[in-house]
A and B are shown apart, each in its own frame.
Chain A
Amino acid sequence: MKHRERNLFIAACTLPALALFATFTLYPFGKAVVMAFYDWSGLSENPVFTGLKNFRTLWQDDIVWQALKNNIFLLLVVPILTMAISLLFAALLTQKRLTGKSIYRTVFFFPNVLSIVVISVLWSFVYHPTFGILNSLLEMIGLQEWTRAWLGDSSTVLWAIAFPMIWQSVGYYMIIYIAAIEGIPADIYEAASIDGASGVTQFRRLTVPLIWSVMRITIVFFLIGVFNGSFAYIKVMTNAGPNHGSEVLMTYMYSQAFNNGNFGYAMAVGVFLLLITISLALLSEKLTERDSVEY
Chain B
Amino acid sequence: MNMTQFAARSGRFLSVLILLGYGVLVVYPLTWTLISSFKTTEEFYASPFALPQSLNFDNYVQAFERAQIGDYFINSIFVTVLSLAVCNILGFAAAYVITRYRFTFLQVLKRFYIGALFFPVAFSIVPLFMLLNRIHLLDSLVGLSLVYAVSAIPFTIYLLTGFLASIPKDYEESAKIDGCSLFGILFRIIAPMAKPGIITITIFNVMNFWNEYIYALSFITTESKRTLTLGLAYLMEVQRYATDWGALFAGLVVVMVPTLIVYALLQNRITAGLNMGGLKG
Chain A residues close to B by CB (< 8 Å): 5-7, 9-10, 12-14, 16-18, 20-21, 23-29, 31-32, 35, 43, 88-89, 92-93, 95, 97-98, 104-111, 113-118, 121-126, 131-133, 136, 167, 172, 175-176, 179, 198-199, 214, 217-218, 220, 224, 227-228, 231-232, 235-236, 250, 253-254, 257-258, 263, 266-267, 270, 273-274, 277
Of the candidates B93, B122, B154, the one whose C-beta lies within 8 Å of that of A21 is: B154
Q: Given that A17-B93, A113-B259, A131-B44 are contacting pairs, would A23 and B123 also be in contact in the complex, using a CB cutoff of 8 Å?
A: no
Which A residues touch B146, using CB under 8 A?
A: 20, 24
**Max count, chain A CB within 10 A of own CB: residue among B101, B151, B271, B281:** B271
The size class of the interface chain B forms with chain A is: 35 or more
Q: Do A92 and B19 touch (CB < 8 A)?
A: yes
Q: Is B171 an interface residue (CB 8 A)?
A: no
Q: Which residues of B contact A217 (CB under 8 A)?
A: 279, 281
Between-chain CB contacts (< 8 Å), 8 pairs: A13-B96, A21-B112, A21-B116, A89-B19, A116-B211, A121-B232, A123-B29, A136-B49
Across chains A and B, which 4 residue pairs bring their CB atoms closest together, nearest first? A115-B211, A28-B124, A28-B127, A31-B127
Interface: B196 (CB within 8 A)? no
Chain B's nearest CB lies how many Å from the CB of A116? Answer: 6
Query: In the docked arrangement, what's the CA distance between A78 and B268, Å?
Result: 27
**For the complex, is B70 an interface residue (Cβ under 8 Å from A)?**
no
Q: At the interface, is chain B mostly helix, strand, loop or mixed? A: helix
The CA of A21 and the CA of B151, in the complex, are separated in Å by 8
> Are B186 and A18 touching (Cβ within 8 A)?
no
Dominant secondary structure at the A interface: helix
Flag if B157 contacts A95 (CB, 8 Å): no
Contact B19 A176 (CB under 8 A): no
B182 touches A9 (CB 8 A): yes
Say whether A17 contacts B153, CB under 8 Å. yes
Cβ contacts under 8 Å, A105 to chain B:
271
Q: Is the CB of B126 within 8 A of A267?
A: yes
Name the one of A93, A97, A131, A270 contacting B123, with C-beta atoms under 8 angstroms. Answer: A270
When chains A and B are docked, how far (Å) is the Cα of A171 from the Cα of B114? Answer: 24
Of residues A23, A29, A88, A136, which shows the largest number of chain B Cβ atoms within 10 Å of its Cβ?
Answer: A29
B residues 1-60 with Cβ under 8 Å of A? Answer: 7, 11-12, 15-16, 18-19, 22-23, 25-30, 32-33, 36, 44-45, 48-49
Q: Which residues does chain A contribute within 8 Å of B281, judged by CB atoms?
A: 217
User: Does B98 lie within 8 Å of A118, measured CB to CB?
Assistant: no
Are B12 and A97 within 8 A (Cβ)? yes
Judging by beta carbons under 8 Å apart, are B45 and A21 in contact?
no
Given A109-B271, A110-B263: A263 and B214 interface contact (C-beta under 8 Å): no
Whether A175 and B275, one on each chain, are in contact in the complex, defined by CB atoms closer than 8 angstroms, is yes
Q: In the complex, A218→B49 CA distance in Å?
A: 38
- CB of A17 within 8 A of CB of B90, answer yes
A95 touches B12 (CB 8 A): yes
Q: Are A131 and B256 in contact (CB under 8 A)?
A: no
Q: How far is the CB of B240 from chain A (nearest CB, A)?
A: 9
| A131 with B45: CB separation less than 8 A | yes
For residue A88, which residue of chain B has the nearest CB?
B18
B207 at the interface (CB under 8 A from A): yes
**Residue in B closest to A270 when the chains form the complex, CB atoms:** B123
A266 to chain B, nearest CB (A): 6
Which partner residue on chain B sits nearest A22 by CB separation?
Answer: B112
Please, which residue of chain A has its CB at the minimum distance from the CB of B36?
A: A125
Min distance, Cβ A32 to any Cβ of chain B, angstroms: 5
Instruction: Quote the shortest CB–CB distance from B159 to chain A (angstroms).
Output: 14
Residues of B within 8 A of A116 (CB): 211, 213
Apart from A13-B96, A17-B153, A126-B29, list 16 A-B contacts with CB within 8 A: A10-B97, A26-B112, A28-B124, A28-B128, A28-B131, A29-B124, A43-B133, A107-B26, A117-B232, A121-B248, A136-B48, A176-B275, A224-B118, A228-B120, A235-B217, A254-B125
